């Protein structure tokens, strides 16, 4: 991933901190009217007319990403996306981000340029302003921390704790592809380590790898729901796996739920690749994570408004808390839902 030609490497130490920040951020454009002051002062100044939503994620090399197969530009893009997803899960519109990195001296300035190019591309696509951040040295690789800000009308904000008995459980998109994309990349990394001359054929797995290396947050969903006249009763993004996320909603809302295995949407590549790895596709969908789809509940009264929409699928319903949380399998067996995804003690939800 890093350029091997020494002539193209500029040591970070050759630039001061402020010069480096200015160099990396000089191409960022300001588009949001709520951004009063961005990079270049002691602090940024914003003026949100509505309620402000804030989310932060920390990505650490060797824990959250592997640079042997994650291009730095993709990493920059993905680091923004994971925060955008949290803002959309509040039914809000993202407006600004701050970017902080800790980087070791093995990275030249050109590597950071690639990273920030990905951040800039994502900022442009999601229409957010980069308004500040920090850079510092690291003794162990690369760490990225992004804080995202958004705004939402206080009457439209959606929390995890609003699900009610008889509500329907809906999911956008499909699940499991990002996890399987990671498995493919890890497998090919091991093959490469044994035989550096091997050339993997990744074409059959293109969707899976894209979902892992360049995911997208569902920026279309809040606007779509507004157009349909539907306000979810609760909502969360799928970062840790379906089972973990529905259990978060049930715990916060003090309700139970039933999810139906045959309703969980899976891409054909997920099904065929699960078979190739001898893994159960439902288990992957429940526990894989990093899909960045939205899971939400709506009142049954709103079902006619969404029933024909291809962007969302009804996968279950909300019950009394005494009913517990269960999955109904394809053979009509009722089993408890257990969170086996990424632990919240390891990563910010």
Kindly tell me if the per-residue pLDDT of 17 is higher than 80: no
**Confidence at residue 16, expressed as pLDDT on a 0 to 100 scale:** 65
**Confidence at residue 3, expressed as pLDDT on a 0 to 100 scale:** 42
Report the candidate in 276, 270, 275 with the shortest Cα–Cα distance to residue 288. Answer: 270
What is the spatial distance between Cα 230 and Cα 235, in angstroms, rounded to a whole number?
12
In which residue ranges of the chain is CATH 3.30.1330.10 found?
6-152
Pick among 3.60.15.10, 3.10.450.50, 3.90.1150.10, 3.30.1330.10: CATH of 6-152: 3.30.1330.10
What CATH fold (topology level) applies to the domain 168-336? Answer: Phosphoribosyl-aminoimidazole Synthetase; Chain A, domain 2 (3.90.650)
Among 12-21, 49-58, 270-279, 303-312, name the one with the lowest average pLDDT. 12-21
pLDDT digits (tens, 9 = 90+) for 335-346: 999 887 544 333
pLDDT digits (tens, 9 = 90+) for 189-241: 998 888 888 887 889 999 999 999 999 999 999 999 999 999 999 999 999 99
CB burial readout 289-312, b (16+ within 10 A) else e = bbbbbbbbbbeeebeeebeeeeeb
Residues written for the chain = 349
**Confidence at residue 22, expressed as pLDDT on a 0 to 100 scale:** 75
Q: What's the predicted TM-score (pTM) here? A: 0.90
State the average pLDDT over residues 162-189: 97
What is the spatial distance between Cα 114 and Cα 28, in angstroms, rounded to a whole number?
14
Which letter does DSSP use for residue 203 in this model?
A: G
Span between the terminal Cα atoms of the chain, in Å: 29
The confidence band for 1, taking pLDDT boundaries of 50, 70 and 90, is very low
**Confidence at residue 319, expressed as pLDDT on a 0 to 100 scale:** 98
pLDDT digits (tens, 9 = 90+) for 108-164: 999 999 999 999 999 999 999 999 999 899 988 999 999 999 999 999 999 999 999
Report the candidate in 215, 191, 10 with the shortest Cα–Cα distance to residue 113. Answer: 10
In which residue ranges of the chain is CATH 3.90.650.10 found?
168-336
State the average pLDDT over residues 6-11: 69
**Confidence at residue 341, expressed as pLDDT on a 0 to 100 scale:** 55
């Amino acid at each position: 991933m890093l350029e091997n030609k020494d002539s193209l490497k500029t040591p970070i130490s050759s630039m001061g901190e402020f010069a480096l920040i200015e160099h990396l951020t000089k191409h960022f454009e300001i588009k949001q009217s709520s951004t009063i002051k961005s990079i270049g002062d002691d602090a940024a100044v914003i003026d949100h007319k509505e309620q402000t939503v804030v989310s932060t994620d920390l990505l650490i090399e060797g824990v959250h990403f592997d640079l042997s197969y994650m291009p730095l530009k993709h990493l920059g893009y993905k680091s923004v996306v994971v925060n955008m997803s949290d803002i959309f899960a509040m039914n809000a519109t993202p407006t600004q981000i701050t970017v902080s990195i800790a980087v070791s001296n093995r990275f030249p300035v050109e590597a950071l340029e690639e990273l920030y190019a990905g951040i800039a591309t994502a900022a442009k696509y999601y229409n957010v302003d980069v308004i500040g951040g920090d850079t510092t040295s690291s003794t162990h690789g690369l760490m990225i921390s992004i804080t995202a800000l958004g705004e939402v009308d206080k009457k439209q904000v959606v929390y995890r704790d609003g699900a009610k008995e008889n509500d329907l459980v809906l999911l956008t998109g499909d699940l499991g592809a990002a996890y399987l994309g990671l498995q493919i990349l890890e497998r090919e990394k091991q093959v490469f380590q044994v035989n550096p001359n091997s050339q993997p054929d990744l074409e059959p797995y293109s969707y899976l790898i894209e979902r892992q290396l360049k995911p997208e947050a569902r920026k279309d969903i809040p606007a779509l729901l507004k157009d349909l006249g539907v306000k979810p009763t609760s909502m969360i993004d799928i970062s840790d796996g379906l089972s973990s996320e529905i259990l978060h909603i049930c715990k916060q809302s003090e309700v139970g739920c039933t999810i139906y295995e045959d309703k969980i949407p899976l891409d054909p590549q997920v099904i065929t690749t699960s078979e190739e790895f001898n893994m159960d596709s439902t288990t992957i969908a429940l526990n894989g994570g990093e899909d960045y789809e939205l899971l939400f509940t709506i009142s049954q009264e709103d079902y006619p408004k969404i029933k024909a929409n291809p962007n969302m699928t009804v996968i279950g319903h909300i019950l009394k808390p005494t009913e517990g949380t269960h999955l109904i399998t394809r053979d009509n067996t009722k089993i408890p839902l257990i969170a086996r995804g990424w632990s919240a003690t390891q990563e910010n939800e």
